[in-house]
Amino acid sequence: MSASTEQNIRHDWTREEVQGLFDKPFNDLLFDAQTVHRANFNPNEVQVSTLLSIKTGSCPEDCKYCPQSAHYNTGLEKQRLMEVEAVLKKAAEAKAKGSSRFCMGAAWKNPNKRDMPYVLDMVKGVREMGLETCMTLGMLDEDQAQQLADAGLDYYNHNLDTSPEFYDKIITTRTYGDRLDTLQNVRDSGMKICSGGIIGMGETENDRIGLLTQLANLPVQPESVPLNMLVKVKGTPMENVEDLDHIDFVRCIAVARILMPKSHVRLSAGREAMSDEMQAMCFLAGANSIFYGECLLTTPNPEAHADMQLFARLGIKPEQAIVERDDQDQEDVLSKQLQKNDQKQPFYDASV
* Shortest distance in whole angstroms from residue 337 CB to ligand SAM: 29
Based on the shown chain and the rule CB under 6 A, indicate whether residue 157 belongs to the binding site for ligand DTB: yes
| Choices 62-70, 86-94, 142-150, 225-233; region in contact with ligand SF4 by CB under 6 A | 62-70
Distance between CA 223 and CA 210 in Å, rounded? 19
Neighbour-count burial of 71, counting CB atoms closer than 10 A to its CB (0-12 exposed, 13-18 middle, 19+ buried): middle
Based on the shown chain and the rule CB under 6 A, indicate whether residue 136 belongs to the binding site for ligand SAM: yes
Distance between CA 324 and CA 109 in Å, rounded? 30
Q: Select from 186, 193, 297, 316 the one that contacts ligand SAM (CB under 6 A).
A: 297
Distance between CA 107 and CA 138 in Å, rounded? 7
* Shortest distance in whole angstroms from residue 161 CB to ligand SF4: 8
Based on the shown chain and the rule CB under 6 A, indicate whether residue 274 belongs to the binding site for ligand DTB: no
Q: Answer whether 262's CB lies under 8 Å from 293's CB.
A: no
Q: Which of the listed partners (ligand SAM, ligand SF4, ligand DTB, none) does 69 bind, with a CB threshold of 5 to 8 Å by partner kind?
A: ligand SF4
In one letter, which amino acid is 90? Answer: K
Based on the shown chain and the rule CB under 6 A, indicate whether residue 266 belongs to the binding site for ligand SAM: no
Query: Which residues are marked as active site?
Result: 59, 63, 66, 103, 134, 194, 266
Neighbour-count burial of 69, counting CB atoms closer than 10 A to its CB (0-12 exposed, 13-18 middle, 19+ buried): buried
Which residues sit opposite 49 in a β-bridge?
A: 101, 291
Neighbour-count burial of 283, counting CB atoms closer than 10 A to its CB (0-12 exposed, 13-18 middle, 19+ buried): buried
Binding mask 4-43 for ligand SAM (x = CB under 6 A): ----------------------------------------
Q: Which residues bind ligand SAM (CB under 6 A)?
A: 59, 65-66, 105, 107-108, 136, 138, 158-159, 161, 198, 228, 230-231, 233, 269, 297
Interacting residues with ligand DTB (CB under 6 A): 51, 67, 105, 136, 157, 159, 196, 226, 228, 231, 268-269, 296-299
